[in-house]
Amino acid sequence: MLQQLARTESEAWAERDPGDSTQAVHGRVEERKTNAGHALTTPITQTATYTFADTADLRAFMEAKLWGSDPSMKERQEYGRYGNPTVRAVERRLATLEHGDAALLYPSGMAAVTNVLLAMLPAGSHIIFTDDCYRRTRQFCTNFLRRFNIESSQVPPGDSTALEAAIQDNTRLIVSESPTNPYLRILDLEQLVTIARRHRVKTIIDATFATPINQRPLDFGVDLVIHSATKYLSGHNDLMAGVAVGEKGLIHALRQSQGMLGGVIDPHAAYLLERGLKTLALRVDRQNRTALQVAAYLESHPGIERVWYPGLPSHPDHGVARAQMAGFGGVVTFSVAPITGEAPLDTASRLIDALAIPYIAASLGGVESLIEQPALMSYYELSTEERAAIGIRDNLVRFAIGIEDAGDIIADLQQALSQL
């Protein structure tokens, strides 16, 4: 009887889906191996090339590489541009977190975006992206890809009619973020996938703002997920990295392309990324809870004109966010209420300058709170009118919440708002 009970418990454990923190710390527990020297942490394999014992060893490697004849050679490489044990270990962990077959690391989030699009879009094809995407992604699609006779179309996030109308015979990809930047729009991923599959178009979601803790697009049928791992995945504002996660055949094709284009991540950066991943679930949970409190506080304050946060019922995509997200993220976007006789840009600047906790800086997702005016940080070269035309108003503020105490952040906002 005891043996039967033990077997039942063992079978239940084998079928159990580990929690987010367990996956972030261990990856696939059943695949855990002893590291070199029995080190608990993944060693940094700092090498540009790999040696072979003799020509027979080299021949065995080449045979396995070409024909897959020797499974023991699966992790073997001959040159650093094609692979690294430290990098591979982190890729496996990221694939587990996103519920994907495989993952591929890049030296930055933008490198992930550009390498993926270059690899997946043939000359003469067409790509669709939403108009609230990261501006560098939009610029790459509209300007750089034009050199290869690749057309692009923009559609509003959440407008399924406009999305389907934009699909052409040569459309190959639909690309978006969810949440988007800076207005945190949430795409209905099931609806997106349904439309894309009807037209045999692949889908890519940049899920940097969500993290796999809050949303896993692959679970909804999205083909490929991209992250700027510089942000939440690393979590400490001390490295740059990007990652693409998806089906193993697609990732294999992207890996072949990466070997030619040369955009590979350094093993030390991969090591730091893995260290950050171990606390991902803890950090994101804290940032989710604090951001919701901050958003609610700001929405109730007369000095704030409007707040954009998916966790608030006032957000246009609140219903979608509740249906497909486990948490609403650590970024709160808001506009400062105008003051008679003062330029909106200056009013928002005075608020930011009066704050004590957040640093004025680009980026997001780290343990430190960061704040910025998009009009000054990313769109300064444009006029007020040009910024307004693309939805960037002078009184807009993006607040990336860190892991500081929620009460301290709200008290800081209160004292800063009192000075306006």
What DSSP element (H or E) covers 105? strand 102-106
**CA-closest candidate to residue 253, choices 48, 102, 93, 77:** 102
Cα separations in angstroms, 272 against 41, 229, 262: 11, 11, 21
Residue 241: name the closest of 402, 143, 363 by CA: 363
- CA 395 from chain centre, in angstroms, equals 26
**Is 80 exceeded by the pLDDT of residue 136?**
yes
Residue spans of alpha helices (H) in 262-389? 267-277, 280-300, 318-324, 344-354, 374-377, 384-389
The rounded distance, in Å, linking the Cα atoms of 234 and 290 is 19
Identify which of 110, 127, 195 has the alpha carbon closest to the alpha carbon of residue 159: 195
pLDDT of residue 184: 97
Q: Which amino acid is at 106?
A: Y
Q: Whose CA is closest to 403, among 278, 287, 289?
A: 287
Tokens describing residue 358: 């957040």
Catalytic sites, residue numbers: 81, 134, 206, 231
92 in Cβ contact with 28 (< 8 Å):
yes
1 falls in which pLDDT band (50, 70, 90)? low
Reported as type and span, the H/E element at residue 154 is strand 151-155
pTM of the model: 0.92
Cα separation, 248 vs 252, in Å, equals 6
Which backbone phi and psi does 399 adopt, to 5 degrees? -115, 110
Give the pLDDT band (50/70/90) at residue 28: low
Q: How do residues 276-287 score in pLDDT, each as one tens digit?
A: 999 999 999 999
State the burial class of residue 3 (Cβ atoms within 10 Å of its Cβ: 0-12, 13-18, 19+): exposed
ω into residue 179 within 30 of 0, thus cis?
A: yes
Q: Which domains does the chain have, with CATH numbers?
A: 16-47+84-277 (3.40.640.10), 281-417 (3.90.1150.10)
Task: Specify the pLDDT at position 16.
Answer: 72
Q: How confident is the model at residue 18 (pLDDT cuts 50, 70, 90)?
A: confident
Q: What are 76-133's pLDDT values in tens digits?
A: 788 999 999 999 999 999 999 999 999 999 999 999 999 999 999 999 999 999 988 8
387 pLDDT tier (thresholds 50, 70, 90): confident
DSSP state of 43: P
What are the pLDDT digits (tens) for 252-274? 999 999 999 999 999 999 999 99
The answer to whether 254 and 121 have CB atoms below 8 angstroms apart is no
Instruction: Examine the pLDDT at 164 and tell me if it is beyond 90.
Output: yes
Report d(CA 50, CA 244) in Å as an integer: 25
Identify the CA nearest to 204 among candidates 188, 213, 193: 193
* Dihedral sign of CA atoms 197, 199, 205, 210 in order: negative
